Amino acid sequence: QGRPGKNGDEHAGLKFFAVSGHIERPGVYCVPMGTTARELLDLAGGVSGGRPLGAIQPGGASSNFIGPGQLDVELDFGTLQAAGSMLGSGAIVVMAEGTDLLAAATNVLRFFRDESCGKCVPCRVGSTKAHVILDGLLAAGGGPGGVNGEVRDLAEVMRRTSICGLGQVALGPVMSVLRLAEDHG
């Protein structure tokens, strides 16, 4: 079974999405590939308490955040990639407006830092250094505007030189939060 996409392509099959976070009806939903993020969030009852949406992570911890202006993106491999994120595991985390997205992304980075096998220097050292910088910034009350060029450089070096995917995506969520802040700043 296919579902016509916006660009005339056809999405095939079904996909399970585990929707969690600030959502009225967290759970696992099986929907046709190509269902939009907006349709899925509506199916799950919308943001809890009727609050405005801040952002979602559409594909698990390693996926980049997308903002409220991107909710009409089709949940499919190619369309999410073109939107700057990825489908990944389909574990969608919903965050209401007012959530500290940089803190959430730094928490994801901490997870990746802890999960690094340590074999390659870019991942082992880069994720540790970036976490120290971001954790210090957050402890001082800073936000996305206070993230320095060193973190951006670390993200690029890790993306290009880490041996495996973990190091290549570890700073992706942080960088996506910075892009969202720039778009709304």
28-50 confidence digits (pLDDT tens): 999 999 999 999 999 999 999 99
* Model-wide pTM > 0.75: yes
How far, in Å, CA of 181 to CA of 179, rounded? 5
Q: Could you tell me the domains of the chain?
A: 2-96 (3.10.20.600), 101-184 (1.20.1440.230)
User: Which pLDDT score, from 0 to 100, does residue 11 have?
Assistant: 73
Q: Taking a C-beta distance cutoff of 8 angstroms, is the pair 51, 22 a contact?
A: yes
User: Which pLDDT score, from 0 to 100, does residue 24 have?
Assistant: 98
Strand 53-57 relative to strand 91-96, pairing = antiparallel
The helix/strand count (H/E) of the chain reads as 7, 6
119-142 confidence digits (pLDDT tens): 999 999 999 999 999 999 999 999
Q: Within a 10 A sphere around the Cβ of 172, how many other Cβ atoms?
A: 24
Q: How confident is the model at residue 184 (pLDDT cuts 50, 70, 90)?
A: confident
52-104 confidence digits (pLDDT tens): 999 999 999 999 999 999 999 999 999 999 999 999 889 999 999 999 999 99
140-173 confidence digits (pLDDT tens): 999 999 999 999 999 999 999 999 999 999 999 9
Per-residue burial over 41-64, b = 16 or more CB atoms within 10 Å of its CB, e = otherwise: beebebbeeeeebbbbbbbbbbbb
How far, in Å, CA of 122 to CA of 157, rounded? 7
